[in-house]
């Protein structure tokens, strides 16, 4: 057993009134958080390019470490997509679009697919967009040998946390997958992001050569992508998560009980923008990331709700199938005896 969901005295809907008190962003604080993330990000980019003159290894290491700042920029982009970062929605959207070039994530496409994720998380009848594909035990057993092998390959940690992020951020994000027929807006978002990112990379190549592309850009991007996918995974793929058929599914209950509180050390909470407080975020996504700790400070009950430590989180990588009878996420091995 990885964790036991703590009992709560309020329903998920009742929590909404309490959480609404934290929704208002501070323009000064948002601007400050953006500055102390984007300035070090570009400074480390310059440092890595400078280090290339003397050591490829040093440049690679600096770039890999810079992935942590790129990850934090993605969290800011994420808050912009929820209109929680600035009170001015137009400002939030344009900051998000600019950051989308750095994160290689077309903002308007991601904003829409992420909204779908929030609107259907934990709903067994609405899987496939903005989530990690998860089969039930019965669905897996009903597949043929080839189908089972495909799913096993997909759920392998190497695929999920190394190959998958590389594919997602370098290839899949180049087109509005899932929204191909949903209007020109999403094609403009994808192609606009592609054009600006390609122009920036070509400029770097033209003046500095291929070194910064392969030893600065790629390590930074792929480290951030892999950590980001891992965070997204453990936020919903833990033993006592919450899934229901549509007729039994409730948006708010799924948000509170189907999202973990990934309790990380302080420095990692900073770099991940408190996104580990995911149960609160899913229940009330308009709360800016820098205000999420306030919620836990004021409501101790939410600290223990679906709490997952870093050590416990590593065990989540072996969980693969949702068992509807025990209402647990289980491993392939455990599923054989069910």
Question: If 0-12 CB within 10 Å is exposed, 13-18 middle and 19+ buried, where does residue 331 land?
Answer: middle
Find the Cα–Cα–Cα–Cα dihedral 281, 286, 288, 294, rounded to 10°.
Answer: -60
Task: Specify if 6 maps to a domain.
Answer: no
Considering just the CA atoms, what is the radius of gyration of the chain in Å? 20
Distance of CA 245 to the CA centre of its chain: 24
* Spatial separation of the C-alpha atoms in residues 273 and 332, rounded to whole Å: 33
The 10s digit of each residue's pLDDT in 281-302 is 999 999 999 999 999 999 999 9
**Quick one: tokens of 89?**
């929605």
Task: Specify if 2 maps to a domain.
Answer: no
Cα angle, residue 36 at apex, residues 35 and 40 outer, rounded to 5°: 105
Average pLDDT, whole number, for the chain? 95
Q: What is the mean predicted confidence (pLDDT) over 268-293?
A: 97
Question: If 0-12 CB within 10 Å is exposed, 13-18 middle and 19+ buried, where does residue 317 land?
Answer: middle
* Spatial separation of the C-alpha atoms in residues 93 and 166, rounded to whole Å: 25
Closest CA to 186 of 83, 102, 92, 111: 111
Determine the structural domain holding residue 139 and report its residue range.
12-336
How much is the pLDDT for 1? 44
Give pTM, 2 decimals. Answer: 0.94
The 10s digit of each residue's pLDDT in 168-227 is 999 999 999 889 999 999 999 999 999 999 999 999 999 999 999 999 999 999 999 999
* Spatial separation of the C-alpha atoms in residues 116 and 233, rounded to whole Å: 17
Distance of CA 213 to the CA centre of its chain: 24
Task: Specify if 50 maps to a domain.
Answer: yes
Contact status, residue 46 vs residue 62, Cβ threshold 8 Å:
no
The 10s digit of each residue's pLDDT in 107-122 is 999 999 999 999 999 9
Q: What is the mean predicted confidence (pLDDT) over 26-30?
A: 98
Q: What is the mean predicted confidence (pLDDT) over 93-99?
A: 98
Cα angle, residue 106 at apex, residues 104 and 109 outer, rounded to 5°: 145
Task: Say how many domains are in the chain.
Answer: 1
How much is the pLDDT for 129? 84
329 beta partners: 322
Q: What is the mean predicted confidence (pLDDT) over 34-39?
A: 98
What values do phi and psi take at 238, rounded to 5?
A: -125, 165
How much is the pLDDT for 3? 52
The 10s digit of each residue's pLDDT in 241-263 is 999 999 999 999 999 999 999 99
Q: What is the mean predicted confidence (pLDDT) over 78-82?
A: 98
């Amino acid at each position: 057993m990885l964790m036991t969901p703590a009992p709560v005295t309020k329903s998920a809907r009742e929590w909404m009134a309490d959480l609404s008190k934290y929704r208002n962003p501070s323009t000064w604080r948002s601007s400050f958080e953006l500055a102390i993330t984007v300035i070090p990000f570009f400074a480390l980019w310059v440092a890595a390019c400078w280090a290339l003159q003397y050591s490829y290894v040093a440049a690679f290491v600096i770039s890999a470490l810079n992935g942590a700042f790129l990850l934090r920029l993605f969290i800011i982009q994420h808050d912009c997509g929820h209109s929680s970062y600035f009170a001015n929605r137009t400002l939030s959207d344009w900051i998000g679009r600019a950051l989308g070039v750095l994160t290689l994530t077309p903002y308007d496409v991601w904003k829409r697919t992420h909204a779908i994720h929030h609107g259907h998380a934990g709903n067994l009848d609405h899987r496939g967009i903005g989530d990690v594909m998860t089969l039930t035990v019965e669905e897996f057993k009903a597949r043929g040998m080839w189908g089972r092998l495909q799913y096993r390959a997909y759920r392998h940690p190497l695929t999920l946390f190394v190959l998958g992020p590389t594919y997602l951020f370098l290839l899949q994000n180049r087109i509005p997958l899932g929204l191909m027929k949903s209007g020109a807006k999403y094609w403009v978002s994808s192609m606009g992001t592609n054009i600006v990112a390609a122009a920036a990379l070509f400029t770097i190549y033209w003046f500095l050569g291929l070194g910064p592309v392969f030893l600065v850009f790629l390590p930074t991007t792929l480290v951030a992508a892999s950590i980001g996918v891992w965070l997204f995974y453990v936020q919903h793929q833990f033993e006592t998560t919450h899934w229901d058929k549509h007729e039994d599914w409730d948006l708010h209950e799924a948000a509170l009980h189907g999202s973990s509180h990934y309790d990380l050390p302080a420095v990692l909470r900073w770099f991940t923008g408190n996104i580990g407080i995911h149960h609160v975020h899913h229940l009330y996504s308009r709360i800016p990331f820098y205000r999420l700790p306030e919620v836990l400070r004021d409501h101790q009950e939410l600290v223990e709700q679906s709490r997952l430590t870093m050590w416990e989180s590593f065990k989540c990588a072996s969980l693969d199938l949702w068992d509807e009878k025990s209402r647990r996420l289980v491993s392939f091995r455990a599923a054989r005896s069910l």
